[in-house]
A and B are shown apart, each in its own frame.
Chain A
């Protein structure tokens, strides 16, 4: 019998991957080396750090986030830590150094807890600890803050006529403490005043209406001017557009129209061919187009429009016609500027100019070329901006690097102040959902995906489109928000252009809590952690919330376990001492061993922050003294009332703590690191796959 050779052959290939185990010792070492760097610039005695970059540039700064991003780190755990810090800072504006201090201390405490068992059991113990930490965030942290800490805090807000109000003095005290940790001591008072001025003028006398706009859209509201002394930074009246005038006819009071597309109608549409019947046909067609454009411009003039803002380039003949009519034109405006105009004024780009109505135009007090800046810009003084007045900030500094640092510091200041508002929260809640839930499957709303995408873009200079849309989705009018099913569906569509500025968006805590209960967190699901990159949650099923059942609630009425808005504490470790004390009490009264261990870890780690506030020489003694004094005060009369002096925001601290715990859980859940050979840029996500 003839033997038939098989048509195929089974080949067994053995693939060996280079893989390493990520021991907790390595994590501690990495975190401690970063901590060592952060400690040098932390606290009132912190100094500025001189950093030599790989291009040979020198960076002198005190800003923790900037330092961390400038370091060259290829170690996957270090990259993960820096990514977590960046994400937190883009959300909260402050706290990079405290983040690393807390993280290093928690890793040390985790190492002690996991300790000397068999290495084979370490993986299981780390997961156990990670679960305990998640339960801590979910079940223990908020009640402790609300019940024990809140009564001892002061409030920066004052309620008047049913509306929480942020007085300028309190905001200045918060910002004084903030800027002290970010910029040099000589610039701190000046920048504090500048930020408060800007908020006040933007909010037309009040500070809090402008906070959300300032925090979300700051890239569009400022201009960096190198080459001038820091003292010449000032608030300019009007909105800054990033293009100069293509045609300037008049600068006075006028109406503004935003158009989308050229005023000259196209000769054909897409998919159609223009068939010319004679040689002169083309010229006739062009004349027809010119006539249409002339009509449109005349109509606009009749409506009183004096300034045309256009996203696309206007051809020369349109400019000529506009000059005859006396209209000014600014064209080639980027999308971000148009989005900002729409957010401020409520008018969007018009595609059919012929249908222009008076409601589509917006009044402006003036429109003139901007006095500062390297290239041409335009200042437009919009009026009637739904409770706000359009202002821009010019940040000056002798060197561009310093100007950028000041700009980032001011941006962070607004994000920090936002935590004082009654719903600081939408962002806090979002972040909490992300921190606790996004690692599990089936728990993502696309809206949060957008927010994460915004955070994932590190240091975007211009306002990103996605972020803009997300933030307008969260736009607060008054202080009530509602997440409707419509909005959710809308944010699923990536290219949505019509924003619901006028609609009320209402958010409630019931909604949030429902989200958290519905399968966001189950103890067994911790094994499903497969997060490779920060910010990509499980894209499993959508949450379809039954929105109709949501109760309408006043913003200042709270459920029991919620920290009231506007809580502040004196700086210098008060928050950390209080939390340490209460968490230790929790640890004693907890039933579950993993939550107990987690409480112990967090309580011990919290002391690392006030410890490093003291100068290095007498650190141990001073810290012990401060701790003893605090304990004595607590026993006798409680924390002294907050009257004056610098303040720190408790909600921001809570957000920081939650972020650190999340980062720790991520690190503890890493079991193997599989190396991928290839060249990495510094800003790219880590090339190693992090697998459970």
Chain B
């Protein structure tokens, strides 16, 4: 897109789709940054002569003389979105990527991935129940591995969840400690929620 000094450059080719996406994303980010900066300037922030060390945006200073970078502190940076340590969605997608590559498939079915999410997302907050999580995750991830049609995977998921529900109820009857009982109750509630989501999906 640059015209060099002294002549027209006839070897310019239009950018490819991927490059267009990158350009669009960058432009959107810049627009967001300038909009935020405009808002803050109207609120009485001072625009400084210095730029941020990390991202290069112009710094703002509030009434309390604290320096503020709109890009670093308000917008998610481009890189953070893909950082698994910071973003659970990124972590999940990384896990799935690895499994897919391991099993030689490229693209998971988008609808099949949805029942994964409620189950796994709810499984994450209760780390004291690691046992049900891997079998369920593997079970649900196993279903799309086969490439079966959606109804079969849906049935599989329901069957697995019901199985777990039944097992949990059995355990609950036999449970003697309060702690264990409450954990089982949480598991039963999660299974019920999962079934609810699966029903909605159907």
Contacts and interface: CB of A to CB of B under 8 A. Distances in A.
A405 B26 CA distance: 39
Contacts of A597: 3
Contacts of A49: 42
A543 to B, nearest CB: 34
Nearest to A124: B5
B148 to A, nearest CB: 44
Given A76-B49, A116-B1, A593-B7, A36 B44 contact: no
Contact of A75 (B3, B6, B30, B47): B47
Tell me if B's interface is mostly helix, strand, loop or mixed: mixed
B88 interface: no
Contacts of B58: 26, 29-30, 33, 75
B49 A74 contact: yes
A29 B30 contact: yes
B202 to A, nearest CB: 38
B35 interface: yes
B44 A54 contact: yes
B48 A74 contact: yes
Contacts of A34: 38
Interface in A27-74: 29-30, 32-37, 49-54, 71-74
B8 to A, nearest CB: 8
Interface in B17-54: 30, 33-35, 37-38, 41-49, 51
A30 B42 contact: no
B46 A73 contact: yes
Contacts of B38: 33-34, 36-37
Interface residues of A, number: 38
Given A29-B58, A33-B41, A37-B41, A73 B47 contact: yes
Nearest to A116: B2
A34 B58 CA distance: 13
B5 A128 contact: yes
Among B5, B46, B63, chain A packs the most CB atoms within 10 A around the CB of B5
A75 B48 CA distance: 5
Contacts of B183: none
A503 to B, nearest CB: 49
B147 interface: no
A55 B21 CA distance: 44
A112 B2 contact: yes
A263 interface: no
Interface string B99-130: 00000000000000000000000000000000
B57 interface: yes
Contact of A29 (B5, B49, B57): B57
A54 B48 CA distance: 15
A25 interface: yes
B176 interface: no
B34 A32 contact: yes
A115 interface: yes
B4 A117 contact: yes
A675 interface: yes
B39 to A, nearest CB: 8
B56 interface: yes
B2 to A, nearest CB: 3
A116 B15 CA distance: 14
Contacts of A54: 44, 63
Contacts of A78: 47
Given A37-B41, A51-B42, A54-B44, 6 more contacts: A33-B37, A36-B34, A36-B35, A37-B42, A71-B41, A78-B47
7 contacts: A25-B56, A50-B42, A51-B44, A74-B46, A75-B47, A113-B3, A115-B2
